[in-house]
Chain A
Amino acid sequence: EAQVTQNPRYLITVTGKKLTVTCSQNMNHEYMSWYRQDPGLGLRQIYYSMNVEVTDKGDVPEGYKVSRKEKRNFPLILESPSPNQTSLYFCASGAGGSRYEQYFGPGTRLTVT
């Protein structure tokens, strides 16, 4: 089954404790991206990647890191989480080229206390 998976689905952590949210897709997609969703603000793009070893900033990259060492994986790293990073995070992937549709993972709800 074609899908985007994220882990963990729920995470409660404390300020400053480094964490990684994993994202994997099995569709051989070139493009992958991370978004955060906050009430009243919609989805905001954090980082995206057009291919292995190619990443770029979205609209809200501060406080986040990403890497794309393999085509299927695109982890999101919070080196020193803060309460304002409490949010619902979605990973997405897409074929790229002239096909702009994105397939979203189920989401990771992160709470930073």
Chain B
Amino acid sequence: GQQVMQIPQYQHVQEGEDFTTYCNSSTTLSNIQWYKQRPGGHPVFLIQLVKSGEVKKQKRLTFQFGEAKKNSSLHITATQTTDVGTYFCAGGSTSGTYKYIFGTGTRLKVLA
């Protein structure tokens, strides 16, 4: 079945350093979404990417969707303590349904 691998599993950075998490799907995706979950909270939608090679920016966050629509990345520039949490990607099936496979998440810890 379809799998979405996400790396790294954990990342500790000093405040001000950059951070990147990667998602790789075993199959082509129709779209990919990124979510952030704070400790004890629920996932919160960040962005969706639909087009091959798409790049979107939200302030210090940059999201990319691969040309083959099988991989994606989230890059945070100059991390802040407010960036702490777990970041998940969610890949949408190309079958026309709303079946989603989530990556296992990257837990980010920012040291002040």
With the chains together, A99 CA to B90 CA distance in Å? 14
**Interface residues in B, total, Cβ within 8 A:** 23
Q: Are the CB atoms of A102 and B42 closer together than 8 Å?
A: no
The A interface is mostly helix, strand or loop, or mixed, namely strand
Q: Chain B residue with minimal CB distance to A56?
A: B97
Q: Are the CB atoms of A43 and B99 closer together than 8 Å?
A: no
Residue B1 is within 8 A (CB to CB) of chain A in the complex: yes
Residue A76 is within 8 A (CB to CB) of chain B in the complex: no
Q: Are the CB atoms of A104 and B43 closer together than 8 Å?
A: yes
Q: Are the CB atoms of A103 and B45 closer together than 8 Å?
A: yes
Q: A-contacting residues of B (Cβ < 8 Å)?
A: 1, 6, 31, 33, 35, 42-45, 48, 50, 88, 90, 92, 97-105
Inter-chain pairs besides A40-B104, A99-B48, 14 sampled, C-beta below 8 Å: A33-B98, A41-B104, A43-B102, A56-B99, A58-B100, A59-B1, A59-B101, A94-B98, A102-B33, A102-B43, A102-B90, A102-B100, A104-B42, A104-B44
What are 25 A-B pairs with beta-carbon distances under 8 A?
A31-B98, A35-B102, A41-B104, A42-B102, A43-B43, A43-B102, A44-B102, A45-B99, A45-B100, A48-B97, A48-B99, A50-B98, A56-B99, A58-B99, A59-B99, A59-B101, A92-B43, A99-B48, A100-B31, A100-B48, A100-B50, A102-B90, A102-B100, A105-B42, A106-B42
